[in-house]
Amino acid sequence: MALEKLRQDIEQNKISLSDAIVKALSELKEKENDKTMAWLANELQGYSNPLNFYYQPKHDFPEYRVVNGFLKLMTKEGTLVNLEHSLANRSDYFLSVPISWLEEAATLPGETRFTEMPEFSHDISSGQGVVVQYSGSQLQTVLQEVKNRLLALLK
């Protein structure tokens, strides 16, 4: 019964995806396989080893979290500048951050979205923040895919 209530709350947008995943993890821990539980944990906490997306030809990161965009450096003053790095020449980036970060980004006004890329901060930013700039419609697609997969899991 708890799963049906959770499903309804998700469908009616009465609960955030991050809160729904927390509840789903506790409800499904004895019912689902390790792969499913790992997916839920990754969505909740963020994906580990995200640099593998950029440096290894084979990886098992979900494709729905890949967006087309531009890497930018956010200075300590909050200004966005172009980033001089080989990875800045790409057009596709993996959003490894927790789902709650993406949900928060979706609440901001405008069509352009920025998501922090903590996996790059130590290597290429000299203590400044690295972000990916992409469209709000791509972000909505990511969130909708997580929602759809979660709802399917709760059936």
SS3 146: helix
pLDDT in tens, the chain (155 residues): 688 999 999 999 999 999 999 999 999 988 999 999 999 999 999 999 999 999 998 889 999 999 999 999 988 888 899 888 888 999 999 999 999 999 999 999 999 999 999 988 765 556 678 999 999 999 999 999 999 999 999 98
Distance (Å) of CA 118 to CA 76, 112, 121, 130: 15, 19, 5, 7
20/83 same-domain check? no
Same domain, 107 and 137: yes
Q: Do both 37 and 76 map to the same domain?
A: no
Q: Residue 76 corresponds to which amino acid? A: K
Give how many domains the chain has, as a whole number: 2
- Whether 99 is covered by a domain: the verdict is yes
Same domain, 76 and 119: yes
DSSP state of 46: -
Domain, as residue range, for 18: 2-45
52 is written with which tokens?
Answer: 């593998």
